[in-house]
Amino acid sequence: MKPFSPTSHSLAKTLTIRMSPHVGATASVDRIMFNVVLALVPVCGYAIYAFGIAAILVLATAVASCVLTEHVLCRISGKDTTIGDWSAVITGLLYGLILPPSLPLWMVAAGGVLAIGVGKFLFGGLGYNPFNPSLVGRAILQATFPSAMTTWLSAPEARFQSIPSSSVAFPLMKPVYDGVTAATPLSQWKFSQVPTDTGQLFLGTVPGSTGETCAALILLGGAYLIARRMMSWRIPVSILVTVAVLSGLLHLIDPQRYAGPLFMLLSGGLMLGAVFMATDMVSSPITHAGRVLYGMLIGTLTVVIRVWGGVPEGIMYAILIGNAVAPHLDNWIQPRLYGAKNLKAETGATG
């Protein structure tokens, strides 16, 4: 039978055919990533205020090395460059924020290249990296330059007047530090049982990595992202609650040996790690239950490493181990299917 075509009208149009839905939300990956950068701006601002030119140099070098690496690697492999999605900028910023401000810049650059190259691009780029790239960069530096990575400059008065000589140290030479080096609150506690005032910790007037010192601004950035639904609140909350509960219990047992929960929460990189590192979407679990478990695991590991480990800070290793477990959590935990609880009562009704 032949089609019978009614040709009484004149409307001639070429129709575009697409599958529904024909409308989309305004959400997009680059917009999420850009907002993470925005949320990091106050943290970076404070880092520059606290550590001066040294912080500017570290952050700029970190971001530049990460973005450039991503661009060059994309070009080499014949793909379109992916630096427009802002994810390399985030990696660079976070990576810079967890480095000591006095770290020689050539080390910063080398670590940045490795963070993107090994931590991200080797696995297939955005969406495929099993570990948080900025932590990969830092872990490599920590293993390669343990001394430089644990030398902390106490914020000098003249921080905006001169470039610290260690920053511009010649590659592969031993850096010379000017001014006074200081211990972080965590190592002070670990090695000499000296506590630091929690008010100072909250406001960040203590030695430490470039951007990890001010808990208040980190929480502000996190709150902004959670309010815009661009970050899962479950991960930071479960990490912080786990750390608070575990360290609180230990503190109750022996207040002389184990620091209190507030000190544990506010010191070191825990805040930055819990809010901005562990929440990296790509390397964390996707289900709600998985995210809570992942946070509990990271919180527990952090406390264990800090209390019984050989190093004062454990958040970096805790998150990296959490990243390794995340895909398994995703395999084990599936959301509860709508209508599944009645499934056994009904038989034979499958479509």
Partner 1 sequence: MFSLVNHLLGTKTFAHGVHPPECKDETRGLAIHQFPFAPLLVVPLSQHIGKPAEAVVDEGAEVVRGQVLATADGFMSVAIHAPATGVIRRIALTPGIKGKMELAFFLEPYTASTQEVLEGKSLEAATATPEQIIDAIQAAGVVGLGGAGFPTHAKLKIPAGKSVDTLIINGAECEPYLTTDHRVMLEHADEVMIGIPYLLKATGADRAIIAVEDNKRDAAEVLRAALPQGLPVTVEVLPVKYPQGAEKMLITALLGREIPSGGLPLDSGAVCVNVGTTAELGHLLPRGMGLYERIITLGGPGIKKKGNYRIPIGTTLRYILDYVGVEDDLSTVVMGGPMMGAAASSLDIPITKGSTGVIAMTERQTGRMIDRKEYPCIHCGSCLDACPLFLNPSQLGLLAKNGRYQAMADDLHLMDCFECGCCTFACPSHIPLVQRFRVAKQAVRQTRRPAG
Binding site for partner 1 (CB under 8 A): 1-6, 8-11, 13, 15-25, 27-32, 85, 124-128, 232, 281-282, 284-288, 291, 330, 334-343, 345-346, 349-351
318 within 8 A of 302, measured Cβ to Cβ: yes
Min dist CB 17 to partner 1, Å, is: 5
DSSP category for residue 131: S
Q: Which residue lies nearer to partner 1 by CB, 18 or 173?
A: 18
Nearest alpha carbon to residue 334 among 295, 289, 280, 282:
289
Quote the Cα angle for 177-180-185, to 5°.
115
Residue 174 or 288 with smaller CB distance to partner 1: 288
* Least gap, CB of 7 to partner 1 (angstroms): 9
Report, in Å, the least distance between residue 279 CB and partner 1.
10
C-alpha–C-alpha distance, residues 178 and 161, integer Å: 13
Q: Which is nearer to partner 1, 310 or 351 (CB)?
A: 351
Number of Cα atoms under 13 Å in the Cβ half of residue 44: 21
CB of 335 to partner 1, least distance (A): 4
Q: Nearer to partner 1 by C-beta: 27 or 173?
A: 27
Cα 271 off chain centre by:
10
- How many residues in the chain? 351
8 Å CB contact between 142 and 172: no
Q: Are 148 and 100 within 8 A, CB to CB?
A: yes
Q: For residue 202, give the 3-state DSSP assignment.
A: helix
CA-to-CA separations, 281 to 4, 138, 277, 314, in angstroms, rounded: 55, 19, 9, 21
Nearest to partner 1 of 328, 336 (CB atom): 336
Encode burial over 255-277: b for 16+ CB neighbours within 10 A, e otherwise. eeebbbbbbbbbbbbbbbbbbbb
**271 contacts 265 by C-beta, under 8 angstroms:** yes
The distance of closest approach from Cβ of residue 291 to partner 1 in the complex, given in angstroms and rounded to an integer, is 8
d(CA 100, CA 96): 8
Q: Which is closer to partner 1, CB of 39 or CB of 155?
A: 39
Indicate the DSSP class of residue 275.
I
Taking the least distance from each CB to partner 1, the nearer of 69 and 232 is 232
Q: Which is nearer to partner 1, 163 or 281 (CB)?
A: 281
Q: At closest approach, how far in Å is the CB of 101 from partner 1?
A: 30
Query: What minimum distance in Å lies between the beta carbon of 218 and partner 1?
Result: 21
Query: From the CB of 141, what's the least distance to partner 1, in Å?
Result: 26
